[in-house]
Structure 1
Amino acid sequence: MTNHKILLSLSKKLIVSCQALEHEPLYGSDIMGRMALAAQQGGASGIRANTREDIVTIKENVQLPVIGIIKRNYPDSSVYITPTIAEIEELVSAGPEIIAMDATNRLRPGSLTLEKLIGQIKDRYPGQMLMADVSTTEEAIEAEKLGFDVVSSTLVGYTKETGGKKIYDDDYAILKQMLQHVHIPVFAEGNIYTPEAAKRCLELGCYAVVVGGAITRPQQITRRFVEGISF
């Protein structure tokens, strides 16, 4: 399937983020593979996944486009999502249709700029589709200039520029700004807890919507219910 057809298959659709970190009860590639299968059976059109191992297993279980990331900490950078060319190489070997990476204005490990890292990726893997996980409209604009195929609101609220903000604040004001200023597809992601919220993002003009914890993290779902019934 061509990159264009892959994006078309995600247009106005739901992408389910199937991720579990080591300290979480559902951690494990086998579990994430089955979680992705459940998402596919429920009607999801794509999967977002973390680690090479999870992506390989998920692709064995479902026939959906996969957005791949690797979350990895480095001591000299706060960038966490696919921070270096090493993670890109691991991901390419797993074959995700799209690779997502932090596209904020923060320096990568080794004081590498986003521009230089993108240059490395484009040189080595010119056909690989890339998603920019951003926190601000300015970052989204820069990501488009650098050649990203897709931009996502993943990091709204997770940077010093957006600390405490949610994408749904002021009727999704930040999504509206991004949609006004970039021409590549804008994916809505982050704190989308209900079908109504997901639909609102699409109504505003988002290309697709990514939902994770509200579907695939039972501990978060349970916590919301517990808090909701507390007197």
Structure 2
Amino acid sequence: MEQVISADRPKWVPVFTGLSVRVFRKLVRVVARRGGEQTGTGRRWGLSLADRVLLVAVYYRTNLTFRQVALLFGISKSAAGRVVDHLAPLLALAPVTRKHSPDTVLIVDGTMVPTHDRSMSASSKNYRYSVNMQVVIDANTRLIVAVGDPTPGNRNDCRAYTESHVDQQCRGATVMADGGYQGKPEVIMPYRKPRTGQSPLPQWKKDLNTIHRSVRARVEHALAHMKSYSILRNCRRKRDGVLYATRGIAQMRNLAMTT
């Protein structure tokens, strides 16, 4: 089969991945440092490392089937699947292992990712089988700091925050969130509207809520950008596939913002 797109023809990179050529080349270097280059003996890859990274980025961006992606790169369907299985962990955003400084402000929010893997998903409020992905950004740099493990879509954000273990990656920092994280005293949330018959919120609380909303909107912007990758709107990957896809997209977004 003839290869249709290749990293050797840079004009195709922004069209199929949404990344600039400069960001894509930096992504290839990141994957190479993590062990993406083939060394030693064994079966050789039919594609160069740059083309394999391009294949994964195209797959995430377009959510084409492996059969369709394979045709673009002139390889078999099974080979395309092996490329994604091999490189997806190397593209992923690394988990946070250190404690944050006290002056760090993080913002957390959850997003539903529809997935075909019924073993880890559940019917959620959008009536589709989804997983709840918890995403944390730095309020100052707006870079994605952490992505939690997937939890069933019927988990509310308060429960998913703990079960996804993303709370452990926020240690030491000040964490902001919306009102869905009730019961988490370490998370700063807006003041709740009083019930009927109770005194209205004083003006100073309303002013603080306004500031809180304007800051928290940054994580919503980040999630909207991540959802421009079609795989997060209908993920067909099994097991850790949705986790690697979300963390891989987070990595690409961070590179695009810092390059």
Q: State the TM-score, normalized to the length of structure 1.
A: 0.31
Larger radius of gyration: 2
Q: State the TM-score, normalized to the length of structure 2.
A: 0.28
- Which one has more relative contact order, counting CA pairs under 8 Å at least 6 apart? 2
